[in-house]
Structure 1
Amino acid sequence: MSYKIAFFDIDGTLVNEDKEVPADTIEAIAELKSRGVEVVIATGRAPYFFKPLAELLDIDSFVSLNGAYVVYRGQPLFKRIISRTSLEALVDHAAKHNHSLVFQGGDAFFSNSDAHPYVMEAVSSLKVDLPGYDPDYWKSADIYQAFLHCQEEDEHLYNEVFPDLRLIRWHRAAMDVLPLTGSKAQGLEAMLQHLNLSPAEAVAFGDGLNDKEMLMLAGLGIAMGNSHEQLKPYADYITTDVDKGGIRNGLLYAGLLEQ
């Protein structure tokens, strides 16, 4: 199969634990682009979280916010928001358990708590600016995704309470909140449809639990060597760690680069 498009997660895939892009990854992406392959970022992050990375790699197409906001070469293709009704119920329920939320809009993000330690710890781990404080931001802005800040032992407080929402853990103190049917795969489908490509013509790289549907959809789903163990069974191939040539080795396996 001659793959025509490649989707790349960010954290743990394009960047390492220090949020740095390995030199061999930069070279591999540049070589891939020179071969005429479409290169797309596919991340749970909002666009304002990865602008410097996109500029570094010269990538202007992305599936962001776990598939909620899709852009091709600077032009928006697809948007998916969380309903106000769902947000209101989540805000009320989280408040009962003293759990903080961060609301992610298209241009900014705000927390409903002021400097909560879980918010500061989780968001700081992304090496981005901390959210502003505006507990009512969700009432007026379109919200594509939220962070729910609680530890794993408290997840049971939300299980089966919100049938229209999906929660995916990405940090010991935080989970992504998105619509039940939302995933990166939904964003990939919008991109592929726009380009008149089939999933079989796509390669996808990821390492986290929010990459499962994406790897399953793509013709070739590649998990990083440092991936979450529960993701690996859904991959067609497991490459090496991000800091051990994982991107280049995966692209070599896919036949998109040469030794």
Structure 2
Amino acid sequence: MQEYKAICFFDLDGTVLNEKSQVDNEVITAISQLKKNDVLPLIATGRSIVEVEHIMKQIGIDSIVALNGQFIQMQEKTIYEDALPISVIERFIEFSNDLGMGMCFYNAHDYWAYQVTENMKHAYQTINALPPREASDLYKEKAVHLLLAITNEPEKDKLYHEAFPELNFFRNQRYSIDIVSSENDKGSGVNRLLDYLGHKDIPTFAFGDGANDVPLLKAVTHGIAMGNGVEETKAVAEYITGKNTEGGLVQALKHFDLL
């Protein structure tokens, strides 16, 4: 196995991606240079592989902590996955229906909606994406690694935590909440991947902006928050760089002499 000088974990939305959910050329060049400098770049995202595989190819990264730590892939090998129990899913469907929330289901290679709503369409517009297809009972046939609740009422978030202590909830957008097992988050995914690689003795860096990036930044040697990040992420960061739309990612890589 190749020896690396450092490992970098990159969030995508609000970090690697710009406001159009695209990758700027300077970021592509920077990641290419990292590899030449014997730095291993990896992705740590709340998204599924099927949503981001085109981005992975574009930036030349083949390994990922996906779905907030629920699924980990090193090159083409799955090294960890954790499907949510159907009993928990069905309890949450009933709970979400009572509160009038929309819901989507994700695994590494597919995603679908319980019922497509106008709020759901709007939520996906904010990340420059189309809503998934409607397939309410597909969770009975396919593994579900992550639930996405569509709700723009953050004042009710406490209700979810109280009703489902076995789950982790990350509100990363005004209109939606990522839901995974309480045993998993981006930080646990990083630790599992580092255990697999056997490289826990080298410096590790993480770059993120959202609430689900808090455990990511805590899991590495050097946590970097984007200037556009939420306050709770900035609070745990060693370094706060510029915004994702203003070259903040490359700025941080240069600050730590990775480029």
Fold agreement, TM-score > 0.5: yes
Residues paired across the two proteins, number:
255
| Cα distance, 1:159–1:69 mapped onto 2, change above 3 Å | closer
Cα deviation for residue 70 of structure 1 reads 0.7
1:206-236 alpha-carbon deviations (Å, 9 max, x no partner): 0110000110110011111111112101011
Name the SS of the counterpart of 1:147 in structure 2: strand
**Unaligned runs of at least 5 residues, structure 1:** none
Q: Which residue of 2 aligns with 1:147?
A: 148
Q: Tell me the amino acid that sits aligned with residue 118 of structure 2.
A: P
Using the alignment, how far apart are the partners of 1:225 and 1:12 within structure 2? 10
- Aligned with 1:181 (options 171, 180, 183): 183
- Aligned with 1:100 (options 79, 99, 102): 102
Q: Which residue of 2 aligns with 1:42?
A: 44
- Aligned with 2:246 (options 228, 244, 247): 244
Which deviates more, 233-242 or 198-207? 198-207
Say if 1:208 and 1:227, in contact at 8 Å, map to a contact too: yes
Say if 1:192 and 1:199, in contact at 8 Å, map to a contact too: no
Name the SS of the counterpart of 1:40 in structure 2: strand
1:15-71 alpha-carbon deviations (Å, 9 max, x no partner): 122112122211111111111211101100001111111111011111110011111
Name the SS of the counterpart of 2:93 in structure 1: helix
Q: Which residue of 2 aligns with 1:233?
A: 235
Say if 1:3 and 1:203, in contact at 8 Å, map to a contact too: no
Mapped pair 1:31 → 2:33: yes
Q: Which residue of 2 aligns with 1:132?
A: 133
Cα deviation for residue 111 of structure 1 reads 0.8
Cα deviation for residue 156 of structure 1 reads 4.0
Cα deviation for residue 157 of structure 1 reads 3.7
Mapped pair 1:80 → 2:82: yes
Q: Which residue of 2 aligns with 1:213?
A: 215
Q: Tell me the amino acid that sits aligned with residue 241 of structure 2.
A: T
Using the alignment, how far apart are the partners of 1:155 and 1:33 within structure 2? 40
| Cα distance, 1:191–1:159 mapped onto 2, change above 3 Å | closer
Cα deviation for residue 200 of structure 1 reads 5.5
Cα deviation for residue 199 of structure 1 reads 7.0
Say if 1:100 and 1:149, in contact at 8 Å, map to a contact too: yes
Say if 1:28 and 1:247, in contact at 8 Å, map to a contact too: no
Q: Tell me the amino acid that sits aligned with residue 135 of structure 2.
A: D
Using the alignment, how far apart are the partners of 1:117 and 1:192 within structure 2? 41
Say if 1:100 and 1:112, in contact at 8 Å, map to a contact too: yes
| Cα distance, 1:199–1:174 mapped onto 2, change above 3 Å | farther
Using the alignment, how far apart are the partners of 2:59 and 2:215 within structure 1? 25
Name the SS of the counterpart of 1:146 in structure 2: strand
Say if 2:8 and 2:206, in contact at 8 Å, map to a contact too: yes
Q: Which residue of 2 aligns with 1:222?
A: 224
Using the alignment, how far apart are the partners of 1:213 and 1:48 within structure 2? 23
Say if 1:45 and 1:64, in contact at 8 Å, map to a contact too: yes
Using the alignment, how far apart are the partners of 1:199 and 1:220 within structure 2? 13
Mapped pair 1:56 → 2:71: no
Using the alignment, how far apart are the partners of 1:107 and 1:125 within structure 2? 22
Say if 1:199 and 1:218, in contact at 8 Å, map to a contact too: no
